[in-house]
Structure 1
Amino acid sequence: MPDLIETLREALDYSGDGSSDFDLNPDFKLPAGRKMRPAGVLVAISVTSNTPQVILTKRSSALKHHPGQIAFPGGKQDEGDKDVTDAALREAWEEIGLPRDLPEVIGHLPDHETVTGFQVTPVVALLKHEFHLKPEPGEVDEVFSTPLAHLLNLDNYLIESRRWRGVQRHYYTVPFGPYYIWGATARMLRGLAVRMK
């Protein structure tokens, strides 16, 4: 386990380029004059067992934006947040009941730009203690864990596509059991996997 933690720290020190929802869609035309909004998501890696796990959520099917999608706990930076790390920790507390003082933040992945106009900073943190999950019913349908080893294996990533606003849009997926992890979440996870290679 100490080796994994050290490898994670070294991977997060690597200063590579960020990612975006447009990585696989170079012909996509971005709207002129758009303004990016800062957001933070928590890549929480539980190391309480011999099989490190990444905590993910299935968003509520009642939500207006991205209903039913797999996501990290997190969201946009509010006025009361000190920074995107603070936003990620606050949202994790609100969405899944993760106490703000429990995650040990070890670094950040480069920002990810979403098609919805967010500049998302993935905040990578270790969870060395168990906690009582408390999903927020209005936002989260389910909380589940995915083995870190599965997410770090680049062979598990696929490129798929679907029509979006009249054009074929390509994106990464990293399916796990019944969970279809795709889009920005899969892209950010793949960014971590590339750095851990």
Structure 2
Amino acid sequence: MIKLIDIEQALARANEITPKETTLRPSAVLVPVVEREQGLQLLLTQRTDHLRHHAGQISFPGGRMDKTDKDLIHTALRETHEEVGIPDQLINVLGKLPLQPTISGFMIQPIVAHVAEHYEMRLCEDEVADAFEVPLDFVIDPANQNHSYREYGGMRYSIYSIPYENRNIWGATANIIVQFSKLIRTL
């Protein structure tokens, strides 16, 4: 079973490289880890169906960097508070995962954080249809990560999906989870 100390050690060894320049829009997501009796959990959201980008998809709380954000960590924390109502005081940032470019034109900076188990959610109903926790041990297990390829705009892209109960975690969110699992498995 993965423990918080394992995550902290893996993130401390990660070699995060920030590109000098990109035409992709900077954004950030929080990869919220919650400690429960049954083990560590990841908090995920399901976006509402009417959103312009990634409607209905399972995602981490997050979004595009605003001009008022001092950095991408601030973006992830601000977006998490806006989307699910968890204040900064209940969030302890542990580190960053590798940048995740998307075919929709975003460069996502995943920020891994420990969220206090007593958090209370207040969903932004305009953006978030649902929020739920999944066992970290389940989603980081390679046996639960399906890999395929998709064609988009004349390019072939590697796609991961992670079915969990009646949900399908795929796209950038699944790719971030796979990167996280590869980092953790190097322990």
Q: Given the two structures, how large is their TM-score scaled by the length of structure 1?
A: 0.85
Shift, 1:118, TM fit: 1.6
More strand by share: 2
- The answer as to whether partners of 2:16 and 2:96 remain within 8 angstroms in 1 is no
Identity of aligned residues (%): 34
1:69 Cα deviation after fit: 0.5
1:70 aligns with 2:69: no
Matched residues in 2 for 1:94 and 1:104: separation?
Answer: 17
Contact kept? 1:45, 1:125, Cα under 8 Å: yes
Asked if 2 retains the 8 angstrom alpha-carbon contact of 1:48 and 1:130, the reply is: no
Could you give the per-residue CA deviations for residues 61-101 of structure 1, whole angstroms, max 9, x where no partner exists?
01111110010000111011110000000000110111122
Residue pair 1:111, 1:121 contacting (<8 A) in 2 also: yes
| Letter paired with 1:64 | R
Secondary structure at the residue paired with 1:88? Answer: helix
Deviation at 1:125, TM superposition (A): 0.5
Q: State the Cα RMSD in Å.
A: 2.0
Q: Does residue 13 of structure 1 match 2:12?
A: yes
Counterpart Cα distance in 1 of 2:113 and 2:9: 14
Task: Write the letter of the residue equivalent to 1:35.
Answer: T
AA of the residue aligned to 2:177: L
Q: Secondary structure at the match of 2:109?
A: strand
Partner of 1:24: none
Q: 1:157, CA displacement in angstroms?
A: 0.6
Distance 1:126 1:157 in 2: 23
Contact 2:16–2:97 at 8 Å: present in 1 too? no
Provide the rounded CA distance (Å) in 2 between the counterparts of 1:195 and 1:163. Answer: 27
Residue in 1 that maps onto 2:83:
95
Matched, 1:151 2:157: no
Residue pairs, 1:77-116, within 5 angstroms: 77-116=65-104
Structure 1 residue 170 displacement after superposition: 3.7
Aligned pair in 2 of structure 1 residues 167, 129: CA closer, same or farther (>3 Å)? closer
Superposed, 1:35-54 pairs within 5 Å as 35-54=23-42
What runs of 5+ residues in structure 2 fail to find an aligned partner? none
Q: Secondary structure at the match of 1:93?
A: helix
TM-score, normalised on structure 2? 0.89
Q: 7-16 or 146-155, which moves further after superposition?
A: 7-16
User: Between Structure 1 and Structure 2, how many residues are aligned?
Assistant: 182
| Contact kept in structure 2, 1:39 and 1:74, CA below 8 Å | yes
Amino acid at match of 1:146: V
Distance in 1 (alpha carbons) for counterparts of 2:155 and 2:27: 27
**TM superposition outliers: structure 1 runs of 4+ over 4 Å:** 166-169
Counterpart of 1:43 in 2: which secondary structure? strand
Pairwise CA distance, 1:56: 0.3
Could you tell me which of 114, 118, 129 is aligned with 1:141?
A: 129
